[in-house]
Structure formats: structure tokens, C-alpha cells
């Protein structure tokens, strides 16, 4: 009987130790509550509206540390981000977003169609080489919420 109690105590202690270890590991590996959002922009007439939405989003959650945002641009909207044509407000906003960690992705297919290189876009852009819609799908598969204002 004594051996049985000793064995039971040892098994219980081991189980408790493993439980505490598992709980600690789960806490350390817990996913961040930081929301991930991708904005989709293709309509030239919505450029200012979408940029305003992104700024409102950042402000509404308490700053860029509380949200991960990506902006994927393709089609006619990309012309607004050509450095040579961009108005000062768009240039300023893109610079602010870049500093805030917003991913600014330009569709590689649209860049080819508009005969523009990454160097000719406002600073901070990356190329979505496989295309804007492919980048949107990739981000959604990574848990990003999709918004198309």
C-alpha cells in the first residue's frame, strides 16, 4: 500500500510539473492579439479615401504598435503613387505609413503595364512580383483581415 501511494504521489507530481511546463509554453507561444489587416486599393478615385481609412485605423487602435497593416495597390490607383505625379499629401501619407511599418505593395503586373519601376514609385513601396491579387490572397492565408473600402 505504501509503495502504491508513493508511486501515485510521484506520478501526480510529474503530471503537475508537466502541466505547469505546458501552460508556461502555451503562454509564451500565445499568438499576439495584434490585428492584421490588408487594404485593397485599385480605384483611382478612392486613393484619398483609403489612405484616410488607414490613418483612422492606426489612430483608432492607439497607434501603429497595435495593428499590422498592409496596403496592396493595383490597377489605375497605382498612378497616384508615381513619384513624379504624386501630390504632396499622398507623398506625406505614404512616408508616414512607411515609418509606421505599413507594408506598401505595388502589383508587379500593374507596374509592367504602366511601364514604371519600383524606383519611380514613392519611397517605401515593395513589389508584389506575382501580382496584387496573389499578394492579397497570401496575406489572407496568413490571417490578415481583408478590407476594400
Pair (117, 87) in one structural domain: yes
> What is the reported pLDDT for 118?
97
Sign for the CA dihedral angle at 40, 46, 52, 57 comes to negative
Pair (61, 117) in one structural domain: yes
Residues of the chain with pLDDT below 70 are: 1-32
> What is the reported pLDDT for 26?
43
Pair (122, 62) in one structural domain: yes
Collect all residues with Cβ–Cβ distance below 8 Å to 54 and sequence separation of at least 6. 39, 69, 71, 97, 102
pTM of the model: 0.78
Helix (H, G, I), strand (E, B) or coil at 16: helix
C-alpha cell at 100: 509606421
Collect all residues with Cβ–Cβ distance below 8 Å to 35 and sequence separation of at least 6. 61, 66, 67, 68, 145
> What is the reported pLDDT for 142?
97
* Domain encompassing residue 41: 35-147
Q: How many domains does the chain have?
A: 2
Amino acid at each position: 500500500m505504501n509503495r502504491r501511494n508513493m508511486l501515485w504521489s510521484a506520478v501526480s507530481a510529474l503530471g503537475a510539473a508537466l502541466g505547469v511546463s505546458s501552460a508556461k509554453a502555451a503562454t509564451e507561444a500565445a499568438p499576439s492579439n495584434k490585428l492584421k489587416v490588408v487594404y485593397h486599393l485599385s480605384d483611382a478615385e478612392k486613393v484619398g479615401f483609403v489612405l484616410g481609412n488607414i490613418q483612422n485605423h492606426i489612430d483608432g487602435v492607439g497607434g501603429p504598435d497595435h495593428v499590422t497593416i498592409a496596403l496592396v495597390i493595383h490597377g489605375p490607383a497605382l498612378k497616384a503613387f508615381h513619384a513624379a505625379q504624386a501630390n504632396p499629401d499622398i507623398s506625406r501619407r505614404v512616408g508616414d505609413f512607411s515609418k509606421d511599418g505599413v507594408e506598401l505593395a505595388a502589383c508587379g503586373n500593374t507596374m509592367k503595364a504602366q511601364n514604371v519601376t519600383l524606383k519611380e514609385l514613392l519611397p517605401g513601396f515593395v513589389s508584389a512580383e506575382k501580382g496584387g491579387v496573389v499578394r492579397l490572397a497570401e496575406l489572407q492565408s496568413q490571417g490578415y483581415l481583408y478590407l476594400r473600402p
